[in-house]
Amino acid sequence: MSVFDSKNVSPRILSAFTAFIISTVNALFSLLLDANWYTPVLVFVITFIITFYLYYYTLQRFIYRKIKLIYKFIYQTKATRKEEFFYNSILPQKSIEQVSEDVQKWAAQRRQEIEILRANEQFRKEFLMNLAHELRTPIFTVQGYIDTLLGGAMNDATVNKKFLSNASKGMDRLVRLVDDLGEISKLESGRIPIIQETFVIQDLVSDVFEELSLAASEKHISLSLKKGTEGALQVYADKPKIKQVLVNLIENAIKYGNENGMITAGCYLMDDKHIYVEISDDGPGIAEEHLPRIFERFYRADRSRSRTIGGTGLGLAIVKHIVEAHGQTVNVRSKPGVGSSFGFTLERGKE
């Protein structure tokens, strides 16, 4: 019975085996009834041929073709050379168990696809919901002030300027939001290419420090390069985009940082091919439960606080996009009460 034990019983072998058993039994019977030597042989041959073809035909027609249909459905392909080869040479070698395994594998794959689609759909829904929410706040603010002004406050010299300026701030917020959204969708569509050049990363950091020095000095925050990492390091990256990354990270460090705080930027040679840039602050830090989601769009660790500070919640999402578009990674370390460090890798520039 080893033929059946083996996993690869093709219909042909199965038919031959069955035909062999039946014709042997028949031949033995005819041997009992007839003393001739050729009658049993004749019976054997005829029974074998008839049984073999009958069996083979039945298997092919009623089982095999059905299975073939299943495979056609699974692979959803038109008959190609390769497929013909598969049906003629590989499929006959497959046992029913293997076929059922294939079908299960296929089903699992489909389930996974559906799972991904569902997750994307959920993501899209959440994004739209968040977006509507984010837009509503500044729009209502602006609308409120304008209505109040029109309702008579316009003529009240003690408040009219203040209300107008508040409405204008609301508009600024809207503009920032739309700008950031535009930035993110451009990055996502992959329409803006990464144009790399070689430059000294510390020079870029200093430029950004310079640009943000006013905002920092308002909170008496010092901006500096970390001691021992001032030695010029060349990176190969898209300069304006990396500048955007640095601006977003340092802006956050200033916005969320404590008065009289300290922000340092460290640039390290990681290995032959990579530079690591890290922006550290001694601010309030971020609780551990928020860390995994901090780079998501619109995610804020401290909703009320960050809203009043005026962020769009898109800064870190843009950072992540830009860094990943470079084929690099970004990470965050933070401890509440101690501070936060945002770091990212860059390709090392050729000297």
Ligand X SMILES: Nc1ncnc2c1ncn2[C@@H]1O[C@H](COP(=O)(O)OP(=O)(O)O)[C@@H](O)[C@H]1O
Binding site for ligand X (CB under 6 A): 248, 252-253, 256, 281, 283-284, 286, 294, 300-302, 306, 311-317, 340
| Least gap, CB of 137 to ligand X (angstroms) | 13
User: Would you say 56 or 295 has its CB closer to ligand X?
Assistant: 295
Residue 195 CB, nearest approach to Mg ion (Å): 25
Residue number, 154 or 294, with CB nearest to Mg ion: 294
HSE (side-chain half, CA atoms, 13 Å) at 127: 13
**Dihedral over Cα of 155, 161, 162, 165: its sign:** positive
Answer for the pair 285, 339: CB distance below 8 angstroms, yes or no. yes
For residue 345, the partner it binds in ligand X, Mg ion, none, with Cβ less than 5 to 8 A by kind, is none
Q: From the list Mg ion, ligand X, none, which binds 278 (C-beta under 5 to 8 Å, kind-based)?
A: none
Cα atoms in the Cβ-side hemisphere of radius 13 Å centred on 288: 0
Kindly tell me which of 251 and 347 has the beta carbon lying closer to ligand X.
Answer: 251
Angle between helices 11-33 and 38-58 (to 10 degrees): 150
In what side-by-side order are the strands of the sheet with 330-335? 222-225, 262-271, 274-281, 339-347, 330-335
| 340 binding partner (options ligand X, Mg ion, none; Cβ < 5 to 8 Å by kind) | ligand X
Distance in Å from the first CA to the final CA of the chain: 73
Report what 56 binds from Mg ion, ligand X, none; CB cut-off 5-8 Å by kind.
none
CB 3 within 8 A of CB 13: yes
Ranges of H-type helices in 212-294: 213-218, 239-256
Cα–chain center distance at 89 = 38
Which of 23, 341 has the CB closer to ligand X? 341
- Closest contact distance (angstroms) between CB of 323 and ligand X is 13
The CB-of-329 to ligand X minimum distance in angstroms stands at 17
> Dihedral, CA atoms, 119, 122, 128, 131, nearest 10 degrees?
-80
Q: Choose from ligand X, Mg ion, none: what does 346 bind? Cβ within 5-8 Å by kind.
A: none
Burial class (CB in 10 A: 0-12, 13-18, 19+), 322: buried
Q: Which is nearer to ligand X, 336 or 349 (CB)?
A: 336
Q: Which does 348 bind (CB under 5 to 8 A by kind): Mg ion, ligand X, none?
A: none
Residue identified by tokens 């992540």 is: 320
By beta carbon distance, the residue nearest ligand X is 311
**Closer residue to ligand X in complex, CB, 7/133:** 133
Binding footprint of Mg ion on the chain (CB under 5 A): 252, 311, 315
Residue 159 CB, shortest distance to ligand X, in Å, is 29
Q: 44 or 344, CB closer to Mg ion?
A: 344
| The entry of ligand X, Mg ion, none that residue 229 binds, CB within 5 to 8 Å by partner kind | none
Of 285 and 315, CB closest to Mg ion: 315
* Distance of closest approach, residue 263 Cβ to ligand X, in angstroms: 9
Closest distance between ligand X and the C-beta of residue 283, in Å?
5
Contact partner at residue 312 from ligand X, Mg ion, none, CB < 5 to 8 Å by partner kind: ligand X
Distance in angstroms (rounded) separating the CA atoms of residues 142 and 99: 65
Helix, strand or coil, per DSSP, at residue 225: strand
